[in-house]
Structure 1
Amino acid sequence: MNRFRVVLASAIAASGLGVAACAPQSASPVPQESAPRSSAVDPAMPRVEHPKDLEAVEDPCQLLRPDQLAQLGVVGEPIREQSPWGEALCVWGARTDGVRVNLAPVTTLNIGLRSVLRSVSKTAPDDNVDGYPVVVSQPLTYSCGIYVSTTPEDTFSLNVDRGDSDRVDQQDPCALAKQVASMVLSNIPDKN
């Protein structure tokens, strides 16, 4: 059996050398132009028709206006924290029993939706909000985590907990998270 493997390996090597010997040789290798990486081909970095400039937002606590927070029934001052990847994040409603919103921009990693897709075993975004690709990462009974792509590289993470809200429009936490995402998107400037 060992002899058969040696003969087979020799035959493969000889045929490879024969092909290489017959191939035309040039003085210098011709560079192969690779097509530019298109975000349409990579579902983890989907094309965004109208990109938003999330990097221009210095304070994520400015991404929900007071009137929007009132519409959601969120009360109290926001809490500013730092995300595990080093960017600022904002939490509204942390000290109440009602709706709680946790918003974290992801602009320094340049990975689009790749990491969240891998962590939730998905191959592409499941939905969109106002035309922006969305991956639902943590659909639970009282809370829902989503990631929204604002450019192929930049996203924001949004986790909404409906708490003890008895409002009919807040019983589906993922629908509520998408409603909040729409509000956030309306406050992010367009990217030029």
Structure 2
Amino acid sequence: MNTTRTTLAAAASLFGLGLAGCSSPTPGQPEPTTGGETTSAVNDPFRIDQPKNLKAISDPCQLLNPQQLQEVGATTTGRQDKSQWGQANCAWDGAKLALQVSPDTVQGQGLRYTTKIVADGKPTAEVAGYPATHVGATSGSCGTYVSTSDTELFLVDFQMGTEDFKASGFSDPCAAADKIAEMVIKNLPPA
């Protein structure tokens, strides 16, 4: 417990130091750019111009439609389980793959927080214009966290089941996870 508190305190200190290092020409005023936006807002790697309402789809097995599931070779019937943060997620299997989509609409932390834990504090990818981060990449599996708003995200956890999946155009598991994440994004309504 003390280790957790120490780690959290150290992370908070580093975060505070990072903020203190930001400066603008006039103290207390952001550096302006054209269009009324600040340089920091324009260059923010977590910026989402068109947020999606992930919470609008209450059944995680509806995050992918039957046509999309058929396209990637998954079963059209998903089974619900619980994610590591306690929210319902959905898993699909197939001869060629195992797939799980886990929405996070309950923690309210978003990708900015997640990247501090699983990456170097910055998105490592982009999916359909949304900031994303890959985790657990191996030659046969990859996870892609995608931010849909400042507080919501989802995880696509993808694993190849057979070698013929590579022959079907998905030789890179992170590219496959990204493609599936893009399908999820297409199914989400605007926030």
Structure 2 length normalisation: TM-score? 0.73
Match of residue 154, structure 1, among 144, 148, 152: 152
Identity %: 36
Report the 3-state secondary structure (helix = DSSP H, G, I; strand = E; otherwise coil) of the residue aligned with 1:108: coil
Match of residue 111, structure 1, among 109, 112, 119: 109
State the distance in 2 between where 1:88 and 1:143 align.
22
Match of residue 141, structure 1, among 130, 139, 142: 139
State the distance in 1 between where 2:185 and 2:156 align.
12
Further displaced range: 96-105 or 131-140: 96-105
Q: Contact between 1:43 and 1:124, CA under 8 Å: does it hold in 2?
A: no
State the distance in 2 between where 1:171 and 1:90 align.
24
Aligned length: 154
Deviation for aligned residue 1:115: 3.9
Deviation for aligned residue 1:40: 3.7
Cα shift readout 1:98-145 (whole Å, capped 9, x = no counterpart):
211111001111111134312234121012111110011111110101
Report the 3-state secondary structure (helix = DSSP H, G, I; strand = E; otherwise coil) of the residue aligned with 2:110: coil
- Following superposition of structure 1 onto structure 2, how do residues 46-125 of structure 1 map, counting pairs within 5 Å? 46-75=46-75, 77-93=77-93, 96-125=94-123
State the distance in 2 between where 1:112 and 1:40 align.
17
Deviation for aligned residue 1:43: 5.8
The amino acid of 2:123's aligned partner reads P
The amino acid of 1:110's aligned partner reads G
Structure 2 segments unaligned to the other structure (5+ residues):
1-27, 31-37
State the distance in 1 between where 2:180 and 2:104 align.
17
State the distance in 2 between where 1:73 and 1:97 align.
8
User: In the alignment, is residue 189 of structure 1 matched against residue 189 of structure 2?
Assistant: yes
Cα shift readout 1:138-178 (whole Å, capped 9, x = no counterpart):
11110101100000111001111121141341221000001
**CA 1:63–1:121 in structure 2 vs 1: closer, same or farther (change >3 Å)?**
closer
State the distance in 2 between where 1:121 and 1:104 align.
18
Q: Contact between 1:43 and 1:123, CA under 8 Å: does it hold in 2?
A: no
Cα shift readout 1:2-52 (whole Å, capped 9, x = no counterpart):
xxxxxxxxxxxxxxxxxxxxxxxxxxxxxxx999xx9949968x2211100
Larger Rg: 1
State the distance in 2 between where 1:49 and 1:108 align.
22
Deviation for aligned residue 1:87: 1.1
Further displaced range: 119-128 or 171-180: 119-128
Deviation for aligned residue 1:97: 3.5
**CA 1:41–1:123 in structure 2 vs 1: closer, same or farther (change >3 Å)?**
farther
Structure 1 length normalisation: TM-score? 0.72
Q: Contact between 1:79 and 1:90, CA under 8 Å: does it hold in 2?
A: yes
Structure 1 segments unaligned to the other structure (5+ residues):
1-32
State the distance in 2 between where 1:49 and 1:76 align.
32
Q: CA RMSD in A?
A: 2.4
